[in-house]
Amino acid sequence: MHLLVLDDEVQLGTFVADVATGAGWTAETAAHKADFRSQLFRRLPDAVILDLHLGETDGISEMRFLAQCQFRGPIGLMSGFDQRVLSSAKQIGGSLGLDVVEVLEKPIRVATLRGVLAVFEQLLAGKPAAGPLQVGAPGKPAANLTSAELDGALRSNEMELYYQPIVAADTLKVSHVEALIRWNHPRCGLIFPGAFMPLAEANQKIIDRLTDWVLSAAAAHVRTLRQLRVPVPVAVNISAANLRSVEYPDHIESILGPGLEPGSILFEVTESVATRNPLAADILTRLRLKGFELSIDDFGTGYSSLEALRRIPFSNIKVDQTFVADLAWSKDSLAIVNSVVALARSMQLASIAEGVETLDVARQLIDLGIDHLQGYHYSRPIPFGQLVPWLQERSTAP
Ligand code: C2E
Ligand code: CA
Ligand code: CA
């Protein structure tokens, strides 16, 4: 049986893997999200043990990733936090449809770990062998993606931009749309960015090429929307890895081409840019000076949200969807969203909630004073060809 362990403390990951090997398993460890995701696809584990508290990300987001890939094996969670944290993480795993069978409070003893592995073995003995991970639409085979293949895809038009509308809370009219990349893989079908962005971001040339491709495709779509008389600004995601030169804003302008006013394109970057990258503040300030709006994405999930807000002149805050998703049942998430909305207001920034899936959550957010809403409740991300009639219908609706 094969175990994959994710822990940013390398020694601890190795310890867990050693105990597993001693118990007759094969085991691999990953110290980062990108490692974890690529190992997951390279060799499908029977079971996974995740540390909840990781430097760059957290175990919950990796649980979401496992759920997205329809991972079916047993999962163990470990954390130095108290049982309360572990048990709510376990609940979240359950609500995602995952089989979180054990929670392990650190420090972890060899005997406890052996017990957990024995439980895994029992569970796995009764199950049929796991099918491949789903990286695209359900039912499609998994891909063994390589960076060479990704590079080829960028040159051969296998990428496509989908668009998800964002509506103003007061009028429910579309304020802008977010461009989200998809890969139409010739063998595997539609592949979502969660399965290939880590691969792209690990290679400077590829992430630069990918973002260039997104920028020029989005610019072409902006022009078409204007011609069709449904002009709407497009938000493009920029990766932290793209921000390496102070000339980057000029590069962006040259890719967008002439005749596009800055108001028709805006940018989203995650808060991690602020801490990891000394040039980011410089580059992003120049982008703002050119007149582009800038959103801080996944706000509240990292360690540096407030630091990022202080250092970088953002114009919008996007409240991370994990808080929004939990709003209906979690008082803590409610308190957090409430204070982020207040923070945005007092800094004169617009607040955007992403991941709005139900009318109840939308109403709650509107009551809290959110400015914009985005999520499946309004529309899933759709291909450009469907966006045009969607916008035309709404602009003529009474
Ligand atoms: P993100 O920027 O936070 O984008 C929002 C993600 O949430 C999208 O996933 C979207 O499909 C999903 N989503 C939207 N509404 C809902 C909802 O109501 N419920 C749930 N459960 N999910 C919702 P997607 O398209 O799979 O993209 C994942 C991430 O990949 C994005 O997260 C972004 O970080 C990255 N990404 C996507 N396109 C690009 C791109 O062109 N460039 C870069 N650098 N990153 C991209
Ligand atoms: Ca985004
Ligand atoms: Ca986000």
Residues 296 and 318: their CA atoms lie apart, in Å, by 6
Out of 63, 65, 180, mutate this one to test ligand 1's pocket (max ligand atoms within 8 Å of CB): namely 180
Q: Are 71 and 48 in contact (CB under 8 A)?
A: yes
Confidence (pLDDT) at 389: 95
Ligand lying closest to the C-alpha of residue 302? 3
Could you count the other beta carbons within 10 Å of the beta carbon of residue 173? 11
Q: Could you tell me if the CB of 381 is within 6 A of ligand 1?
A: yes
CATH number listed for the domain at residues 142-396: 3.20.20.450
Could you count the other beta carbons within 10 Å of the beta carbon of residue 307? 13
Confidence (pLDDT) at 90: 84
Could you count the other beta carbons within 10 Å of the beta carbon of residue 349? 19
DSSP string for residues in 345-356: HHTT-EEEE---
User: What are the domain boundaries of the chain?
Assistant: 2-124, 142-396
Q: Could you tell me if the CB of 376 is within 6 A of ligand 1?
A: yes
Q: Are 38 and 199 in contact (CB under 8 A)?
A: yes
Confidence (pLDDT) at 137: 39
Q: Are 265 and 219 in contact (CB under 8 A)?
A: yes
Cα 144 to averaged position of ligand 2 atoms, centre (Å)? 25
Q: Are 337 and 353 in contact (CB under 8 A)?
A: yes
pLDDT in tens, the chain (398 residues): 999 999 988 999 999 999 999 999 999 999 888 888 888 887 889 999 999 876 666 788 888 888 888 888 999 998 887 777 777 888 888 888 888 888 888 888 999 999 999 999 988 887 766 665 655 433 333 346 788 999 999 999 899 999 999 999 999 999 999 999 999 988 778 888 988 998 899 899 999 999 999 999 999 999 999 999 999 999 999 999 999 999 999 999 999 999 898 999 999 999 877 667 789 999 999 999 999 999 999 998 877 788 889 889 999 999 999 899 888 888 889 999 999 999 999 999 999 999 999 999 999 999 999 999 999 999 999 999 999 999 999 876 55
Indicate the helix (H) or strand (E) that contains 26: strand 26-30
Q: Which two tokens stand for residue 43?
A: 């060799």
CATH class of the region 2-124? alpha beta
Residues 76 and 398: their CA atoms lie apart, in Å, by 52
Cα 12 to averaged position of ligand 2 atoms, centre (Å)? 33
One-letter amino acid of 332: D
